[in-house]
């Protein structure tokens, strides 16, 4: 007799302005039937106590969700049933632009912004048909987050993921922003580092990203915002001074690995040195003491292998 497959409930929890303000969303899959059932009958806008769903000390607000077929829950429609409504924008419908060839030659742009379409949605009530619940963090009880030590942060399931995502975003400037060119081939610095055992799914990278995230959160919400907002996306045309500095730090780490000047045998030492160097640049920038970052190009020509 085959057992019935359990469909987990996905919780997407967003760090909005009421918490750290990074805008990062983290995901959790809930398989326990009692926790899933807790959401049934709740609706968009309801406040959720974290103690009831496995996140003690937190308080959340439901902002949306979708069912097992992907139909979104829509605020303002009572109950959990499917409905057809006219919509001109999200959720459930994103107007698009597309090109249409003209008979006289060339193209014209058709913009569907503002055009209403009939779409299937669910009411604002959650039920056993709900597959995903979107929530925002309203608050976290206990000591202020920036006063927690590293162990306390990483023992918190939400903060653990936020630390990793914050650190990974910062490291993108080096791992994904820097391009190495050798002969006719090009590769990201991250791919080149994989040859030396530094993969982005490795323990070393995960620990490094989390440690950077912990250090940034401990600077306080306002400083975190000053640092994270301009570094959220890698921009090579007008790189932020901190982005250029971080890219240089990661490239310098790569060259030392390549030249056997450092070893990965002591991961903790490697991680601590990298974090120390990155945080020195960040603190110098925050305090207005950062000199111009090293002259550094995001595309580096390396000598072709013999």
Listed in sequence order, the residues at least 6 apart from 75 whose beta carbon sits closer than 8 Å to its beta carbon are 44, 45, 64, 124
- Does residue 304 have a pLDDT over 70? no
Q: What percent of the chain has pLDDT over 90?
A: 74
Please check the confidence at residue 10 and state whether its pLDDT lies above 80: yes
- At residue 1, the pLDDT reads 43
Residues near 243 by beta carbon (within 8 Å), at least 6 away in sequence: 173, 177, 230, 231, 234, 235
Q: How far apart are CA 197 and CA 178, in angstroms?
A: 18
**What pTM was computed for the model?**
0.87
pLDDT tens digit string along 79-119? 998 888 776 666 665 667 767 777 777 777 776 676 677 77
Q: Does pLDDT of 225 surpass 90?
A: yes
Number of helical (H) and strand (E) elements in the chain, helices listed first: 8, 12
In the structure, what pLDDT confidence band is assigned to residue 2 with cuts at 50, 70 and 90? very low
Please say if the pLDDT value at position 62 is more than 60. Answer: yes
Average pLDDT value for the chain: 90
Q: How far is CA 93 from CA 76, 89, 96, 246, in A?
A: 16, 5, 9, 39
**Is 185 a residue whose pLDDT tops 70?**
yes
């Amino acid at each position: 007799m085959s057992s019935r497959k359990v469909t987990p409930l996905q919780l997407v929890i967003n760090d909005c302005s009421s918490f750290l303000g990074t805008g990062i969303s983290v995901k959790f899959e809930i398989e326990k039937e009692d926790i899933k059932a807790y959401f049934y009958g709740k609706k968009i806008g309801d406040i959720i106590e974290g103690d009831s769903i496995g996140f003690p000390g937190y308080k959340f607000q439901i902002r949306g969700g979708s069912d097992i077929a992907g139909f979104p829950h829509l605020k303002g429609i009572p109950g959990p049933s499917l409905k057809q409504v006219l919509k001109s924008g999200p959720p459930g419908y994103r107007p698009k632009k597309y090109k249409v060839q003209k008979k006289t030659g060339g193209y014209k742009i058709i913009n569907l912004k503002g055009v209403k379409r009939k779409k299937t949605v669910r009411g604002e009530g959650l039920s056993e048909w709900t597959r995903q619940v979107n929530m925002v963090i309203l608050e976290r009880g206990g000591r202020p987050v920036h006063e927690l030590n590293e162990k306390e942060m990483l023992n918190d399931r939400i903060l653990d993921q936020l630390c990793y995502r914050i650190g990974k975003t910062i490291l993108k400037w080096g791992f994904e922003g820097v391009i190495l060119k050798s002969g006719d081939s090009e590769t990201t610095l991250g791919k080149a580092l994989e040859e030396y055992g530094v993969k982005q799914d490795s323990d070393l990278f995960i620990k490094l990203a989390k440690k950077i995230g912990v250090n940034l959160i401990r600077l306080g919400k306002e400083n975190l915002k000053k640092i994270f907002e301009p570094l959220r996306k890698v921009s090579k045309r007008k790189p932020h001074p901190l982005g250029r500095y971080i890219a240089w730090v990661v490239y310098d780490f790569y060259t030392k690995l390549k030249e056997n000047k450092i070893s990965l045998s002591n991961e903790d030492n490697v991680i601590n040195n990298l974090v120390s160097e990155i945080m020195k640049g960040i603190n110098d920038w925050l305090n207005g003491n950062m000199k111009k970052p090293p002259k550094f190009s995001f595309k580096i020509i390396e000598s072709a292998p013999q």
